[in-house]
Amino acid sequence: MNKRDPKIAISGKSGCGNTTVSRLVAEKLGLRFINFTFRTLAQEMGLTLEAVLEKAKDDEWWDREVDRRQVELARQDGGCVLGSRLAIWMLPEADLKVYLKASPEVRLERIYKREGGDRAALASFTAERDRQDRERYLRLYNIDNNDYHFADIIIDTDHMGPEAIADYIIETLQKR
């Protein structure tokens, strides 16, 4: 591993803290933060996230474009922190692969705080999104995003704040 320019991949489902934690790790280490997602693509194209997710159900281009762009960015020279649902699978050469997990209840509360809305509708939307994501990843890449045992570290984020998680990731990286 190049200790000066590590590539760190951080994955987790919505509400697990991967975006927040990835950004913090990148800031603390002075690395590029890469978080190119459906949400980013939707904003670029002037669409809602829901519209992009609907299109992605029947058109592989959406997934492949997000994944292609994030991996392309991560593989540029220099270190980076790639935070995305599939980062640990899509960047196998990462120096550290981190999977963040959280209970459905904690995930829902975090999503509610971030996006607002009706909790029941958010719970339903999130569960359906998880199901659709898993089906798509299996179909497109033969990746089961519920099988993350190969990650270098798996962190249950239910009772840890983003700062503590970021510090733990950095400590783990420095010990390697």
List pLDDT tens digits, range 98-125: 999 999 999 999 999 988 999 999 999 9
Give the model's pLDDT for residue 66: 92
Give the model's pLDDT for residue 176: 86
Q: Are 5 and 78 in contact (CB under 8 A)?
A: yes
Closest CA to 51 of 63, 61, 42: 42
Give the model's pLDDT for residue 132: 87
- Which uninterrupted H or E stretch holds 8? strand 7-12
How far CA 142 is from CA of 86, 117, 131, 161, 170, in Å, comes to: 12, 34, 15, 32, 30
Closest CA to 173 of 152, 155, 159: 152
Give the model's pLDDT for residue 98: 98
What domains are there in the chain, each with its CATH number?
7-175 (3.40.50.300)
List, for the chain, all residue ranges whose pLDDT scores fall below the cut of 50. Answer: none
Give the model's pLDDT for residue 2: 52
Q: How does DSSP classify residue 1?
A: -
Q: Which residues contact 36 (CB under 8 A, 6 or more apart)?
A: 66, 69, 70, 73, 84
Give the model's pLDDT for residue 138: 95
Give the model's pLDDT for residue 3: 60
Rounded CA separation 136/60 (Å): 8
Amino acid at 135: E
Q: Which residues contact 169 (CB under 8 A, 6 or more apart)?
A: 8, 10, 21, 25, 96, 98, 153, 155
Radius of gyration, CA atoms only, the chain: 16
Q: How does DSSP classify residue 96?
A: E
Helix crossing, 119-141 with 61-74: angle to 10°? 80
Name the pTM for this structure. 0.90
